């Protein structure tokens, strides 16, 4: 059970530290944690956000526990040297194409949502975001037009095999839940989305036990606020998934509670909280580590098939929340380490 631990920038080291404490407390046989540098921290130390030695550590592990990358001081670097290239590089180099982002309302936490308690209480959904295509990896640039004006451009595209691959992940996930899959696109405007919809419909023939629906992304954003309980599994592209999953996090109260998994076609995966590096609060003990701790639970479940310890972690987090353990993001005053202590005590 070899796990690469890439803490990264900002609050990444703080929240990752608490997740590592939880993993160690489980006394799992064969557990080995190997640290590596990513992001702005790696650029300062090695001159690149994803140095070769870090990539080597990743390839030798069975899974990656990732903190966060992002550093205001690196914003003016050339794009290929910016901290965010670490996570994009890992996704590309390791074939991490399926991003699983669950959003579920914890019992007793309904008051932390921006939605009415009776609406928020029904949230139990899984957003599956395709990670290797779309505008994130398409050709892009800034050019000067003949009249002297600058123009930025980004190419959005999907090949049908990329859509087919992520569609299968969505249907299989729905089979293990309530049997409902909603494919989100913008097929009324984008040819990329029309292909997406056509391929998802083709794949649906292989899953007669799953009910497929389609929704335009603007309507999906509205419905996540109006009636989030209607969703079971949502499958969508890279850009739309990025936006909708962050929106879903606030529907359940805080982005500090949402874990994620980025999976390859094998059992290998990268696991991280969906929040960013938050450099403005780094080092102050204000970050909520629960999303990272829950990411560690997803790591055990999906990459190592360790369902029992994964469920223990999730139960410990749920109990801590039910007992009123809340960081500043949830209106409480518990520090990062105090939240980690509380989860460990309940574990």
Q: Are residues 38 and 163 in the same domain?
A: no
209 is catalytic: no
Q: Which among 136, 158, 207, 271 is annotated as catalytic?
A: 136
pLDDT for the residue numbered 135: 92
- How does 230-245 read in b/e, with b if 16+ C-beta sit within 10 Å? ebbbbbbbbbbbbebb
Q: Do 235 and 170 contact (CB within 8 A), yes or no? A: yes
Q: Are residues 159 and 276 in the same domain?
A: no
Residues 107 and 93 in one domain: no
| In a shared domain, residues 58 and 192 | no
Whether residue 85 is found in the same domain as residue 152: no
50 and 170 belong to one structural domain: no
Listed residues 229, 255, 281: the one ending a domain: 255
Q: Do 115 and 221 belong together in one domain?
A: yes
Q: Which of 255, 273, 288 is the last residue of a domain?
A: 255
The low-confidence residues of the chain, meaning pLDDT below 70, are: none
24 catalytically annotated? no
Dump pLDDT digits (tens) for 71-112: 988 888 898 899 999 998 999 899 999 999 999 998 888 888
Q: Are residues 68 and 158 in the same domain?
A: no
Our answer to whether residue 186 is catalytic in this structure is: yes
232 catalytic, yes or no? no
Could you say which of 255, 275, 305 is where a domain stops?
A: 255
Question: How many domains does the chain divide into?
Answer: 2
Residue 23, helix vs strand vs coil: helix
Regarding whether 251 and 107 lie in a shared domain, the answer is yes
- The residue from 9, 71, 158, 186 that is catalytic is 186
- Residue 78, C-beta contacts closer than 8 angstroms, at least 6 positions apart: none
Domain hosting 244: range is: 101-255
Q: Over the stretch 135-179, which tens digit does the pLDDT of each residue have?
A: 988 899 999 999 999 999 999 999 999 999 999 999 999 999 999
Establish whether 207 is a catalytic residue: no
Choosing from 232, 242, 271, 329, the catalytic residue is 242
Q: Which of 218, 280, 284, 323 is the catalytic position?
A: 218
């Amino acid at each position: 059970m070899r796990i690469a631990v890439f803490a990264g920038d900002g609050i990444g080291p703080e929240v990752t530290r608490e997740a590592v404490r939880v993993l160690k407390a489980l006394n799992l046989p064969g557990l080995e944690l190997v640290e590596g540098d990513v992001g702005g921290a790696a650029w300062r130390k090695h001159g690149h956000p994803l140095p070769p030695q870090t990539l080597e550590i990743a390839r030798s592990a069975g899974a990656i526990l990732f903190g966060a990358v992002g550093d205001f001081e690196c914003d003016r670097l050339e794009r290929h040297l910016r901290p965010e290239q670490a996570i994009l590089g890992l996704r590309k180099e390791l074939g991490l194409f399926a991003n699983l982002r669950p959003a579920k309302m914890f019992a007793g936490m309904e008051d932390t949502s921006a939605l009415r308690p009776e609406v928020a209480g029904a949230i139990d959904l899984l957003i599956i975001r395709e990670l290797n295509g779309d505008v994130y990896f398409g050709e892009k640039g800034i050019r000067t037009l003949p009249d002297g004006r600058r123009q930025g451009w980004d190419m959005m595209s999907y090949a049908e095999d990329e859509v087919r691959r992520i569609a299968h992940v969505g249907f299989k996930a729905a089979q293990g839940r309530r049997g409902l899959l909603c494919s989100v696109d913008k097929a009324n405007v984008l040819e990329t989305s029309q292909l997406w919809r056509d391929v998802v419909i083709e794949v649906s023939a292989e899953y007669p036990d799953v009910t497929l629906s389609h929704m335009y992304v603007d309507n999906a954003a509205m419905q996540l606020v109006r009636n989030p309980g209607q969703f079971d599994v949502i499958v969508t592209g890279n850009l739309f998934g990025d936006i909708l999953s962050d929106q879903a996090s606030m529907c359940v109260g805080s982005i500090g509670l949402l874990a994620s998994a980025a999976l390859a076609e094998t059992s290998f995966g990268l696991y991280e909280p969906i929040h960013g590096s938050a450099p403005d609060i780094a080092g102050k003990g204000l970050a909520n580590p629960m999303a990272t701790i829950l990411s560690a639970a997803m790591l055990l479940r999906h990459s190592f098939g360790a369902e029992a310890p994964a469920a223990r972690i999730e139960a410990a987090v749920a109990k801590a929340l039910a007992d009123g353990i809340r960081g500043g993001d949830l209106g409480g005053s518990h520090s990062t380490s105090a939240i980690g202590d509380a989860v460990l005590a309940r574990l």
